[in-house]
Chain A
Amino acid sequence: MSDKNSGLIASLAHQGISRRTFMKYCATLASMMALPPSAGRAMAEAMAAARRPSVIWLPFQECTGCTESITRSHSPSLEGLIFDAISLDYQETLMAAAGHQAEEALEKAIEENKGKFVLIIDGSVATGLDGAYSCIAGRTNLELLKRVAPHAGAIVAMGSCAAFGGIPKANPNPTAAVAVTDIIKDKPVVNIPGCPPIPVVMTGVLAHYLTFGSLPELDKLGRPKAFYGETIHDRCYRRPFYDQGKFAKTFDDEGARKGWCLFELGCKGPVTYNACATVKWNGGTSWPVESGHGCLGCSEPDFWDGGGFYRALSMPADPLKMAATAAVVGTAAGVAATFANRAKKGAAKSAHETVTLADLEK
């Protein structure tokens, strides 16, 4: 790869990306971020002139799905190429160096780019047993975050785990996992939640930072408004069916075949802020609702503990906790119901009956 001080565009040119292709990319990126068309031109110019930004990527308690989302696509995406073109100074999964060499690279990148590098974190931070649940090179994730974050120019929490704690934080949260923003209080953190997040959001944030020298506008949960400004439901192509009251009741009924609304099958679209409905996945091929499954709400805090992926939003998530006064009666009734449901499930299994969604939820 070309030397570190060459511009981003020179690095892209090495990979056969013409300036025109880059201009097209910036024009569509600006459009996606709801910026005026002139911003696309400004982005193309600023990013072309920019020195390849130094990026330090710290993976904490994560599954590497976020890295996969960005680096893997069946045709080389520009997100992937831009990711290649940045100066990725530390990323354990991708870097060739290992052991002491890798840790030296980290320290060197911090020293050389103090106050300027972009810090990307994926995975939650374990705080139980002083962070001992997740260590890299003898240091806990917590120590590492506190060492690197004060010197970063911008901090990006990539994926639901870094942004909100995600699956490691799900009940009963054995490692006492927390989000990056629970540790870093004195600096703005851009949250890019999703499990995994949409790749273009990362390049969008990077482009904004390089073009305007600032972070994009964020919502109250620290997410870029341009991508998380509207719910899945608001932009869903199946929305007209919701408005008409046409719902699929099972995954293989007439309604499902006709592409009706998946609300009653547990779709979390109405309470999930993300851009899947417009940006889609796999090069714009499709997205969960288009392939017939409701939204899981993976870009929202605590989505894993939300009360069931197949439970309609209109059903109370946990009726037993709804009112304290009804607790005693409720518990007794709940236990009785559980036994009854278990019996039904068992009976259905032995008789090869169809188990309905309602049964699965009990």
Chain B
Amino acid sequence: MGIEQIPIHVDNGSDGLSGNASAILREVADMLDRLARTGETGAIDLAALPLTPADKAWLSERLGKGEVEISMELNGASRIHETAYPGIWWITHLNPMGAEIGEFIEVTPIPDMVPSQSDDIVRGSESLNFLINDLC
């Protein structure tokens, strides 16, 4: 039996908002402003302060969805989408069992994890050459 099946209803007042989501929204807005002016990137770990499910839903709704959505398989799924505000990305990491292990907002032109990494490119090139040598 998972936690979902246990009928726990945590009462956080009528709307379930703790007030932390709007604080994060302002912090993100400030980071985006800095990115626009100076190019400085920023990130927020959403696990670092208490957020109720309603807080997360509120934040996610306010930020919306933009043009890009990426799904990755990195020892468990990871999903990244750009929000409706270019430069603000929402990142969710799952473990191989499908449990959420991390959630971040990154304020950057492109999250670090998205581009092919130089070590991986080198290894990719080596294995492709192996493959071609095998063909001959």
CB-CB nearest in chain B for A18: B120
A1 to chain B, nearest CB (A): 17
Which of A34-42, A156-164, A315-323, A337-345 is found at the contact surface with chain B?
A34-42
User: Which of A238, A240, A241, A284 is the one whose CB lies under 8 Å from B97?
Assistant: A284
B97 to chain A, nearest CB (A): 4
User: Which of A9, A25, A37 is the one whose CB lies under 8 Å from B119?
Assistant: A9
CB-CB nearest in chain B for A35: B45
B112 at the interface (CB under 8 A from A): yes
B74 at the interface (CB under 8 A from A): yes
Cβ–Cβ < 8 Å partners of A17 in chain B = 75
Cβ–Cβ < 8 Å partners of B99 in chain A = 280, 283-285
Interface bits A282-306 vs B (CB < 8 Å: 1, else 0) = 1111000010000000000000000
How many angstroms from the CA of A285 to the CA of B1 in the assembled complex? 11
Cβ–Cβ < 8 Å partners of B93 in chain A = 24, 27-28
A253 to chain B, nearest CB (A): 15
Cβ–Cβ < 8 Å partners of B113 in chain A = 20, 23-24, 27
A151 to chain B, nearest CB (A): 33
Cβ–Cβ < 8 Å partners of B8 in chain A = 237-238, 240-241, 259
B48 at the interface (CB under 8 A from A): yes
B31 to chain A, nearest CB (A): 11
B7 at the interface (CB under 8 A from A): yes
A31 and B45 contact, CB distance less than 8 A: yes
CB-CB nearest in chain B for A285: B97
A41 and B112 contact, CB distance less than 8 A: yes
B10 at the interface (CB under 8 A from A): yes
A258 at the interface (CB under 8 A from B): yes
A75 at the interface (CB under 8 A from B): yes
B104 and A37 contact, CB distance less than 8 A: yes
Cβ–Cβ < 8 Å partners of B48 in chain A = 31, 34
A24 and B74 contact, CB distance less than 8 A: yes
Cβ–Cβ < 8 Å partners of B72 in chain A = 20
A13 at the interface (CB under 8 A from B): yes
B120 and A37 contact, CB distance less than 8 A: no
B45 and A258 contact, CB distance less than 8 A: no
Cβ–Cβ < 8 Å partners of B118 in chain A = 19
Cβ–Cβ < 8 Å partners of B104 in chain A = 27, 31, 37
| With known contacts A31-B47, A237-B3, A258-B6, A24–B123 Cβ distance under 8 A | no
User: Which of A25, A38, A237 is the one whose CB lies under 8 Å from B75?
Assistant: A25
B6 and A38 contact, CB distance less than 8 A: no
A21 at the interface (CB under 8 A from B): yes
B24 at the interface (CB under 8 A from A): no
B112 and A37 contact, CB distance less than 8 A: no
Contact residues, B1-54 vs A (CB, 8 A): 3, 6-8, 10, 43-45, 47-48
Contact residues, B99-136 vs A (CB, 8 A): 99, 101-102, 104, 106, 112-113, 117-120, 123
Give the most central of B10, B47, B75, B96: most A CB within 10 Å.
B75
B60 at the interface (CB under 8 A from A): no
Which B residues lie at the A interface, using CB under 8 A?
3, 6-8, 10, 43-45, 47-48, 72, 74-75, 78, 93, 95-97, 99, 101-102, 104, 106, 112-113, 117-120, 123
A-B CB contact pairs (8 Å), 22 listed: A13-B123, A18-B120, A20-B117, A21-B75, A23-B112, A24-B93, A28-B101, A28-B102, A30-B45, A31-B45, A31-B104, A37-B43, A75-B96, A78-B75, A237-B3, A237-B8, A241-B8, A282-B97, A283-B99, A284-B97, A284-B101, A290-B3
Q: Other CB < 8 Å A-B pairs besides A24-B113, A284-B101, 8 of them? A: A9-B119, A18-B74, A28-B93, A30-B45, A31-B104, A37-B45, A258-B7, A259-B8
